[in-house]
Structure 1
Amino acid sequence: MTRQELGIGTDLLRVEDVKVSFPLATGQVDALKGVDLRVLPGKITALVGESGSGKSVLGQTIMGLQPSFARVSGKVLLADAAAPGGQRELLGLPRDGRLIRSVRGAKIGMIFQEPMTSFSALHTIGNQISEALRIHEPVSAKEQRERSEEMLSLVGFTKPGRVFDMYPFELSGGMRQRAMIAMALICSPQLLIADEPTTALDVTIQAQILTLLRDLQQRLGMAILLITHDLGVVANVTDEVVVLYQGRIMESGPVEDIFRRPQHPYLKGLMAAIPHFGMKQGERLRPLRDIQIDRDKLISAIGAAKPVAQAAAPQVLLSVRNLSKTYQTRDQAWDIRKSAKPAPAVDGVSFDIKRGECLGLVGESGCGKTTVSKILMRAVTPDAGSVSYDDGSGPVDVLNAKGDDLQRLRTQIQMVFQDPVSSLSPRMTVGNILSEPLDIHRRGTSAQRRETVEALLGAIGLGQSARHRYPHSFSGGQRQRVGIARALALAPGLIVCDEPVSALDVSVQAQILNLLKDLQKDLGLTYLFISHNLAVVDYMADRVAVMWAGRIVEIAARETIMNAPVHPYTKALLAAVPYPDLDRRLDFATFNGNTALTSANWAQAFRASADNADDLAPLDLGDGHFVLARKSADVGELKA
């Protein structure tokens, strides 16, 4: 890209020939290989690419947050009227001190990819958001709280005062991401670097956040560098697109040209790898690179148990009945009068998972999806309810299992966690992480365990050299793949997948989804697939359960949910999906309100009566289609 094309003198941010390399014991890694891009004032520029392509490294380098041992060259110029020539060169600033702090937070804000590791666990959300105000603006403690609560309200919290006093671990993944966005925007920066800002968010909250970012950008004249792998988000909000691959820019230009007239084969491949609605039964995604695995070797290596004879195996593998779980906040625990009734995180949830199927569980952040998964894994004890698991060897009470039954359950039910950073030990190599389950359950000899680890690394598309590396040396998407491999190590009968591909770019996502489907067929696996990406759920699931405010509001076959939903919340979810299609843009005016309050606008048949909160019950609409509605509701009217 030439200097004329960069528009020198008119850009808010200009990156010129930036190179970043990391010296490692095994050799030098070139993360960026001469990157040029621009961000125009008041515009949104998307930086798109696969996991490990250098997107996050570029964002960190602009902020001066790259590791101290990184070798950096080139220029990063920020428009600044107070600087000589109207531009400030950022790479020449010291990594700490007054000069760089005058840029970070005040002029450039950043939303980080991993909200849990970006927050201090020892400080409240409000303390960390107001800290930016204390550093950059002389405001009183009262005004700090007022402005922080106002920003928390803007990003979708209905009770910002309560969230202000909470700690990060008390919020779900999506809620932490919203708090991170509030912290980045609190000082109204000129430029916002958003590194995967909606990765952890469900589609309705994602639509709200995108609406918020667009509104703030227009109101403040703020520019945004949006780092993302979600081409649906790119198509709906950006003005310009830059496509990055292995540290080099493959293609860049206005969003209209990129989507309607893509030129580079890499960009065309990215678009073909995206799961979309209406895919035919058995149709596969087309990743840029297929994972080449010896399926027989993999199945043999992980020691898949012989399938139980169909005559002896019950159709239902996992049966969940009336699960309930309520958490008390600190204020409620100290409330002697008990004036505030705690809201249940899970409220009377019931469903079955049939052998060999994939049940998709979707809903907003904070609706209780992850709490349900933790109850199934015995990581959380419910207040009420029962869970029964039967792989053909006899039913086991999951919540009360002990001894040999518990040991068998530990091998039969595995989990892929939402946050790949906190779920992998930073003190263990990847090889040790993958062999740990085999060691604990005494599977095979040392040589057999090594063979299993090699097969698992091949199955997730990582080379054998990854065995000796630590999690911090991998990108977010690569760490998530390690988590998936660990869950497969013991050849379980049921895998609980809590947002298993949320951290993956579209190409690697396509690889992993194809792999999960292949393993489901070859190993007879059963999945509970929790996700906020409805297109992914449409590709993976046989049946779909929709959850809102701790309750399942609709459950049916995938085709029914996607094509003929009945509950208004299900319809709202589908309407919020961002398509990678310029002709099917989101109606952002629809998402100005908070979806937690939209139940007030639902038809009366879907709302509990004021004098009877227990008036709602699952109504059978036929063919396994159930919807939460008033017991007195007419089934024919609901379908209409």
Structure 2
Amino acid sequence: MTSGADLLRVEGLRITFSVLGGEVQAVNNANFRILPGKVTALVGESGSGKSAISQAVMGILPNVAKVGGKILFNDPTTAAKPIDLLSLEREGEEIRSLRGTRISKIFQEPMTSLSPLHTIGNQISEVLKIHTDAEKAERRARTEELLGYVGFANPKRAYDMYPFELSGGMRQRAMIAMALICRPALLIADEPTTALDVTVQAQILKLLRELQVKLNMAMLLITHDLGVVANMADEVVVIYHGQIVEAGPVEAIFRNPQHPYLKGLMAAVPHFDMKPGERLKALREVPVKAGTLLGTSAADRRTGPDVLLSVRNVSKTYGTRKSSWFGGGEDTLHRAVDDVSFDIRRGECLGLVGESGCGKTTVSKILMRAVTPDQGSVIFDNGEGSVDVLKVQGDDLKAMRSKIQMVFQDPVSSLSPRMTVKNILSEPLEIHGRGTGKSREETVRSLLQAVGLDQRFINRYPHSFSGGQRQRIGIARALALVPELLICDEPVSALDVSVQAQILNLLKDLQKELGLTCLFISHNLAVVDYMADRIAVMCAGRIVELAPREVLMRNPVHPYTKSLLAAVPYPDLDRPLDFELLKDSEGSDMRRWGPQFRDDDAGDALIPADLGGDHIVLARRSVDARELRP
């Protein structure tokens, strides 16, 4: 195929970054094409060169980058020959006239990509101000029209809103509007749904697909999520360490993958069809040598009462004051956790799922005593007598904290950049007065071995590790005090699919070998399905359904649970997302749930209905549980 038939053709692209001590080759002799009106997915792990390629196309590579090869752009609005984007002056008039008009980009993180000082409308209409002669009134009208099209219910009001007033999904919609305001021929979407909940992700994918078809626009979709690729792409390009290892139509890539790296990526993705006991196949396996870490075996940990932690009727309300600079205004109350009750059984992994803002993390903070609830009890019983976690004080509280530990969501910000691995892992032991200096160092070394890190790393700082390695350090720190309960708050949401597989396998191995009890919090249902024994589904501060994993996945009852499951993109061409069903999905909009699942003004309260087989769903008191059974 000649270059003239392609919208964009990358030929022999090489990108090298000059760093202290030498050069790093980010992209090595990359060749691929993007066809007019088609979606090309660029797939690979973090650091593989995906974003560097997109920056080269946009002409926004940093000054330390050296570029070779060609990027030929064949603008369909002109009859001229293809333009080599790399030959254009870096900040010249020609590249600036293309950037934002004919080639646009949606960036990965909508919060940091939008100016916090300007309204949404100002930022979108600025593109028109730079690239067109439209008057102010026309710019506003066109901006409001597009805001309405990308899903804002009230475009006139949205025009004057600031980014901090919008949810993550709505900020991403504003970014899409900004990229499309000049109707580009090519849209580059760099991980457009990575930070979003599964339901919001499905909405954004549906929107991008509709806009791409309506505007007959080509798209370069950069992602590491193979489920997104299967639902969006026409062609797929797989990149590994800066080299294109496989490329072709989406049918050929998914049904007959050839390269070992692509096969490995596919095997690393958790999915709902996994057999009991089946493991994810990580690209690089982590050797786990927990054994009898710190002299504790799994058999020792599983003795005691059946229920390790019992949460009853916990509620938490936050107040925000809407006031002017000079005082006044009224408090607005938001119930983050609303009458939540559940048990965590000894040796099990309980999954807690739901969208952002549903109260999952607040529950975890209450269990850790980082947040004090308005009411309720949290009873911990490890066989040494039951203790109310919310009432213990002094030395008893200090002892309790050693029995409940947490693995945080962000492996970067949760580790001090000024402390070595040795300091990080020995700090909990020092705080709780465990052992001597020499024995603590031995413990640190055994912890590193337990999570699959080389003991030579003991004096390194966090910045010298990858995201997956940093998360393993976070897990090791949580294990240092040999806790009874490990709370994992979205521990893999920031990681690539291949690194995610490593961490999930590591947690399963540690749970098995050490007899750990886990509360695993996530919005990724496929991940929870792989990890959990039972799953609790949370919406608007309440647990709306709780059941054994296989029951919840096969026979969900609550409308919200069904909508969550329907929004998960499968990495399978034969199971595409049903965008029409999603359009009518109940989601978290309680008005669209059946009357048996909604609050009744007449006083027919919602209570947990027992459907049998350890399956509980939140429904009206007057509803017969037999009517709810699937």
- TM-score w.r.t. length of structure 2: 0.86
1:631 aligns with 2:621: yes
Q: State the partner residue of 1:496.
A: 487
CA distance in 2 between counterparts of 1:601 and 1:406 reads 44
- What code does the residue aligned with 2:246 have? E
CA displacement 1:268-294 (0-9 Å, x = unmatched): 222222222232222212223321243
Q: State the partner residue of 1:264.
A: 259
Shift of 1:634: 1.4
Q: Secondary structure at the match of 1:110?
A: strand
CA shift in 2, pair 1:557/1:311, >3 Å: closer
Shift of 1:83: 8.9
CA shift in 2, pair 1:449/1:199, >3 Å: farther
Shift of 1:518: 0.5
- Of 616-625 and 482-491, deviating more is 482-491
- In the TM superposition, what are the counterparts of 1:136-285 in structure 2 within 5 Å? 136=131, 161=157, 165=161, 168=164, 180-181=175-176, 184-185=179-180, 188-285=183-280
1:619 to 609, 612, 623: 609
Shift of 1:150: 6.6
1:290 to 276, 282, 285: 285
Shift of 1:555: 0.5
2:537 to 535, 546, 555: 546
- What code does the residue aligned with 1:112 have? F
Larger radius of gyration: 2
Shift of 1:51: 3.4
- What code does the residue aligned with 1:276 have? H
CA displacement 1:404-447 (0-9 Å, x = unmatched): 23323443333333344444445556665555545555555556
Shift of 1:561: 0.3
CA distance in 2 between counterparts of 1:322 and 1:51 reads 42
2:378 to 387, 394, 405: 387
Shift of 1:354: 1.5
- Of 374-383 and 353-362, deviating more is 374-383
1:558 to 549, 562, 565: 549
- Of 176-185 and 322-331, deviating more is 176-185
Q: Aligned pairs, how many?
A: 628
User: Are the aligned partners of 2:564 and 2:587 in contact in 1 as well (CA < 8 Å)?
Assistant: no
- TM-score w.r.t. length of structure 1: 0.85
Fraction of identical pairs, as percent: 65
CA distance in 2 between counterparts of 1:344 and 1:234 reads 37
1:412 to 395, 403, 423: 403
Shift of 1:401: 4.0
1:536 aligns with 2:527: yes
5+ residue gaps in structure 2?
Answer: none
5+ residue gaps in structure 1?
Answer: none
Q: State the partner residue of 1:360.
A: 351
CA distance in 2 between counterparts of 1:475 and 1:135 reads 40
Shift of 1:10: 2.6
Q: State the partner residue of 1:569.
A: 560
CA distance in 1 between counterparts of 2:484 and 2:445 reads 22
CA distance in 2 between counterparts of 1:177 and 1:444 reads 50
- What code does the residue aligned with 1:618 have? P
1:519 aligns with 2:510: yes
- What code does the residue aligned with 2:231 have? N
CA shift in 2, pair 1:457/1:37, >3 Å: farther
CA shift in 2, pair 1:101/1:464, >3 Å: farther
User: Are the aligned partners of 1:480 and 1:504 in contact in 2 as well (CA < 8 Å)?
Assistant: no
CA shift in 2, pair 1:321/1:506, >3 Å: same
Q: Secondary structure at the match of 1:41?
A: coil
CA shift in 2, pair 1:432/1:16, >3 Å: farther
User: Are the aligned partners of 1:172 and 1:366 in contact in 2 as well (CA < 8 Å)?
Assistant: no
User: Are the aligned partners of 1:325 and 1:383 in contact in 2 as well (CA < 8 Å)?
Assistant: yes
- Of 416-425 and 201-210, deviating more is 416-425
CA distance in 2 between counterparts of 1:537 and 1:94 reads 49
CA displacement 1:448-481 (0-9 Å, x = unmatched): 5556556655666666676676656666555545
Shift of 1:242: 0.8
User: Are the aligned partners of 1:52 and 1:475 in contact in 2 as well (CA < 8 Å)?
Assistant: no
CA shift in 2, pair 1:381/1:63, >3 Å: farther
Q: Secondary structure at the match of 1:544?
A: strand
Q: State the partner residue of 1:313.
A: 304
Q: State the partner residue of 1:49.
A: 44
RMSD: 3.9
- In the TM superposition, what are the counterparts of 1:598-617 in structure 2 within 5 Å? 598-612=589-603, 615-617=605-607
- In the TM superposition, what are the counterparts of 1:13-52 in structure 2 within 5 Å? 13-24=8-19, 28-52=23-47
User: Are the aligned partners of 1:51 and 1:476 in contact in 2 as well (CA < 8 Å)?
Assistant: no
User: Are the aligned partners of 2:3 and 2:82 in contact in 1 as well (CA < 8 Å)?
Assistant: no
CA shift in 2, pair 1:441/1:484, >3 Å: same
Q: Secondary structure at the match of 2:366?
A: helix
Shift of 1:232: 1.5
Q: State the partner residue of 2:338.
A: 347
CA shift in 2, pair 1:250/1:433, >3 Å: farther
User: Are the aligned partners of 2:281 and 2:501 in contact in 1 as well (CA < 8 Å)?
Assistant: yes
